């Protein structure tokens, strides 16, 4: 499904409660519910199927993916609940224990607490978290409020959808699998803390809709346009190699089908599929005052987000929402 495919369904269950700052009816990363003048709950839920064979790493990656929406909104994690679909007929309980331990390690890393969860017997393995965070309701980062003149920073490299597909096909070395797993498991927690000290106008995390899909959301579906410099995108080289071999997930093709009509390519490239690649546990996409961009990039690199770079500029609305040159 494309980013807008559920809008007509969700419209039927929208709430008009004045305490709900962000809810159904928007494409935001998480829901926001005001408790009082200075506190709001930020809530999200996500699950994924295994992207690596190691159950502990899988737990870490799934947890990092779920937690990321809280960080994108500028909130801090309070609690998390495990959501598990487990194939107990074909996997021992030790596998489940490793998955949960991996997830718990990531919740603890960002100061949260696992308070419980629910497990069902399922033919396909799934794992993720329902997460509750806390933020100041006056300091929530939305995903569609960038200013014309802002630049966009991304904090993790692209190509993870293609590369996790390559892992399933046993096409990558153990050392590269370890690098990919570590990148996927890296929390956006510290990046979120750092950006709060800068003049940031919007933020989202790059996940299943790919860079293109989440950038289109950030544009306000064309309220502004976003101009990308393709050669500045931080792309993992093996992802291009695998894509040229046809190792591309279905979600990436779906993203291209949905977003390409909203994009204008001013360059010829055979690598455009990377722009649409469906990511898991991707980086933050941050819109920031251009005068502060270099300082934030430097701070993020120093904190371990080595591939952080400026990749685009927010411009006045054009015929297409996304422009790539």
CA–CA separation, 57 and 144 (whole Å): 32
CA distances from 36 to 15, 33, 138, 140 (A): 18, 9, 11, 14
Q: Could you tell me which residues come within 8 angstroms of residue 189 by beta carbon, excluding any fewer than 6 positions away?
A: 67, 71, 77, 109, 110
Output the furthest CA–CA distance in the chain (Å, rounded): 57
For residue 316, the tally of other CB atoms under 10 A from its CB is: 8
Which mean pLDDT values do the consecutive 10-residue runs of the chain (325 residues) have? 54 72 77 95 96 96 97 97 93 95 98 96 95 96 96 98 95 95 98 98 96 97 97 96 95 96 96 96 97 98 97 98 98
Confidence (pLDDT) at 2:
46
Class in CATH terms, 151-324: alpha beta
What CA–CA distance (Å, rounded) separates 104 from 98?
Answer: 10
Q: Phi first, then psi: what are they for 152, rounded to 5°?
A: -105, 130
Neighbouring residues of 138: CB distance < 8 A, sequence distance ≥ 6: 38
How far from chain centre, in Å, is Cα 169?
24
Question: What CA–CA distances, in Å, run from 84 to 65, 122, 170?
Answer: 15, 9, 25
Q: Domain 7-139: what homologous superfamily?
A: PurM-like, N-terminal domain (3.30.1330.10)
pLDDT in tens, 163-218: 999 999 999 999 999 999 999 999 999 999 999 999 999 999 999 999 999 999 99
pLDDT tens-digit series, residues 135-155: 999 999 999 999 999 999 999
Strand partners, 43: 31, 132
Identify any residues that bridge with 306 across adjacent strands, giving them in sequence order: none
**Residues contacting residue 222 through CB under 8 Å, at least 6 positions apart:** 262, 317, 321
d(CA 311, CA 240): 18
pLDDT of residue 220: 94
Domain ranges in the chain? 7-139, 151-324
CA angle 274, 280, 281 (to 5 degrees): 115
Topology alike, domains 7-139 and 151-324: no
Torsion sign over Cα 90, 95, 97, 100: negative
Question: Please, what is the angle between helix 160-168 and helix 237-244, to 10°?
Answer: 60
């Amino acid at each position: 499904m494309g980013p807008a495919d559920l809008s007509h369904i969700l419209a039927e269950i929208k709430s008009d409660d004045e305490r709900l700052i962000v809810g159904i009816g928007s494409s935001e990363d998480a829901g926001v519910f005001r408790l009082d003048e200075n506190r709001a709950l930020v809530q999200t839920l996500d699950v994924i199927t295994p992207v690596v064979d190691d159950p502990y790493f899988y737990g870490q990656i799934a947890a990092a993916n779920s937690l990321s929406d809280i960080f994108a909104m500028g909130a801090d994690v309070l609690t998390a609940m495990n959501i598990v679909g487990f194939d107990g007929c074909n996997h021992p309980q030790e596998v489940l224990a490793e998955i949960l331990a991996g997830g718990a390690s990531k919740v603890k890393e960002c100061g949260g607490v696992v308070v419980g969860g629910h497990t069902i017997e399922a033919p396909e393995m799934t794992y993720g978290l329902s997460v509750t965070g806390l933020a100041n309701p006056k300091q929530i980062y939305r995903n569609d409020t960038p200013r014309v003149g802002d630049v966009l920073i991304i904090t993790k490299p692209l190509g993870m959808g293609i590369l996790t597909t390559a892992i399933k096909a046993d096409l990558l070395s153990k050392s590269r699998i370890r690098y990919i797993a570590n990148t996927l498991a890296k929390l956006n927690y510290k990046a979120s803390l750092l950006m709060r000290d800068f003049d940031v106008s919007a933020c989202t995390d790059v996940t299943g809709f790919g860079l293109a899909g989440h950038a289109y959301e950030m544009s306000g579906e064309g309220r502004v346009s976003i101009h990308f410099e393709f050669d500045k995108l931080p792309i993992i080289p093996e992802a291009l190699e695998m894509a040229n071999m046809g190792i591309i997930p279905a979600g990436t093709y779906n993203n291209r089908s949905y977003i390409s009509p909203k994009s204008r390519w001013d360059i010829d490239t055979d690598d455009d599929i990377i722009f649409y690649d469906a990511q898991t546990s991707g980086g933050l996409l941050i819109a920031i005052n251009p005068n502060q961009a270099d300082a934030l990039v430097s701070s993020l690199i120093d904190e371990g987000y080595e591939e952080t770079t400026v990749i685009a500029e927010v411009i006045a609305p054009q015929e297409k929402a996304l422009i790539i040159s």
